[in-house]
Amino acid sequence: TPKMAPYLIGIMVSENIAHLDSKLTRGRKVSIWGHPSRVQYGDLPMRLANRHMEFLEEYTSFPDPMPKQDMLTVRNYIAGGLENWGIVSYDEKLVLFDPRYRRNKQVVL
DSSP sequence for 43-97? HHHHHHHHHHHHHHHHHHT---S-SEEEEEEETT-TTSEEEETTEEEEEGGGT--
Domains of the chain, CATH where assigned: 20-108 (3.30.2010.30)
pTM of the model: 0.80
Divide the 109 residues of the chain into consecutive groups of 10 and give the mean pLDDT of each group. 81 88 85 91 87 91 86 86 86 82 60
- Quick one: pLDDT at residue 43? 87
